[in-house]
Amino acid sequence: MAEKKTVVVMKGDQTGQELLEEALRVLHPDVIRFEIDFKPFDLSLENRRKTKNQVVYEAAKAMKEAGFGLKAATITPEEKGDVGSPNAILRREIDGKVIVRTGRRIPGVRPVAGTYAPISVIRMAVGDAYGAEEWREGEGVEEVAFRTERIDRKTCRAVAEFAFRHAKRMNAKVFGGPKFTVSPVYEGMLKEEMDAASKRYPEVPYEPQLIDATYALLLNSSGEPMVIPALNRDGDCLSDLVLQLFGSIAGAESILLSFDEDFNPQVVMAEAPHGTAPTLFGKNIANPMAMILAAASLLTYFNDPQASAASRAIYESTIEAVREGTRTADLGGSATTTEFTDEVIRKVQTKLEVWTTLQGY
């Protein structure tokens, strides 16, 4: 590798932290054959409270400098006035524009409605219903609730541009879209950017649909890979649906991206899409797949052949381990968390050794 990359590691809570540690085992230089400089920050609920969220701002600043982050699941307290969600701070501080979540087939897990090909949801990371100003007026049955939402064209363009680039890499079609017929001014802004991006990428199949039709058609998808650009609220709901269409969220990772002026990734933060799973904490039975795949996805953004090879080896090894019967309890198996990771590590090491041996043949 030309230069050692720095990855900001954000520690989390409960099972989220345990699974982060499993992913870091897979990224050890003895496994992937190169070194990464890990810069740790403790984003546990206890430390966020202790520092009044200052540690979250420090982690975000470090990510902007390094360009890469790997985050464990964290607890978001529900009490008003508490430290809240670190994700909202991280997204804002690194100027995150897009969240990518990809559902994919897990061997031995029966998908819903015949869903087999990968589906990526490209979700707007900021604005829309999140952070909107809300208020109520009137009393009793005459009371009315209001909410002011906003989106901006730069974020819409980032979502659309990345969706088409991602679809080109996946050999997928760009599918779905906002409810632009009901909301031509607000939701229509994303549709305008999707249409413009389709002209820049004429080789990418494009099938715009209203959001309600998108939900319905997903249940009858024919098995072709799809990329779905979405507003923040729509994307939040779509992500949960899409991942469950594959029977489990275990085979998915979540990526937060910020971009430069040419819409190339500037900061990449990878995490698992699931929470801290407190009922599994300390039992060594949780499934580390999503966190391991999050680590693998981060390597693809290093723009380095060695990192790309390691990423592919991790992806293949993780899926193969499941296919060959090494499964945690949630997938119908009996392997422990560490046993699953051990098997992935063994397979990654074998693949990279074989691929290195066969170079030039």
| Domain assignments of the chain as residue spans, ordered by start | 1-106+252-360, 110-247
* Residue among 99, 107, 101, 103 nearest 251 (CA): 103
Residue 217 identity: L
Q: What integer pLDDT is reported at residue 1 of this predicted model?
A: 57
DSSP 26-59: HTSHHHHSS--EEEEEE--HHHHHHHTTHHHHHH
Q: What integer pLDDT is reported at residue 36 of this predicted model?
A: 97
The whole-number mean pLDDT for each consecutive block of 10 residues of the chain, a chain of 361 residues, reads: 88 97 98 97 97 97 97 92 91 94 88 82 91 93 96 95 96 95 96 98 96 89 88 93 86 93 94 92 95 96 94 96 94 95 98 86 45
pTM, full prediction? 0.92
3-state class percentages of the chain: helix first, strand second, coil last, to nearest 5: 45, 20, 35
| Each residue's pLDDT tens digit, 127-169 | 888 878 999 999 999 999 999 999 999 999 999 999 999 999 9
**CA of 167: how far to CAs of 47, 118, 175, 309, in Å?**
39, 11, 10, 21
| Each residue's pLDDT tens digit, 89-118 | 999 999 999 999 999 888 888 887 667 889
* Residue among 77, 80, 94 nearest 10 (CA): 94
Q: What integer pLDDT is reported at residue 141 of this predicted model?
A: 96
Q: What integer pLDDT is reported at residue 228 of this predicted model?
A: 97
Asked if 1-106+252-360 and 110-247 have one fold, the answer is yes
Q: What CA–CA distance (Å, rounded) separates 255 from 120?
A: 11
Among 3.40.309.10, 3.40.50.1820, 3.40.190.170, 3.40.718.10, name the CATH number for the domain at 110-247.
Answer: 3.40.718.10
3-state SS, one letter per residue, for 206-221: EECCCHHHHHHHHCCC
C-beta neighbour count of 126 within 10 angstroms? 19
Rounded to 5 degrees, φ, ψ at 7 are: -120, 125
Q: What integer pLDDT is reported at residue 116 of this predicted model?
A: 81
Q: Could you tell me if 20 and 291 are in contact, meaning their C-beta atoms sit under 8 angstroms apart? A: yes
**CA of 172: how far to CAs of 50, 119, 124, in Å?**
46, 9, 19
Give the domain 1-106+252-360 fold. Isopropylmalate Dehydrogenase (3.40.718)
With a CB cutoff of 8 Å and minimum separation 6, the contacts of 78 are none
Beta bridge partners of 147: 134
Residue 310 identity: A
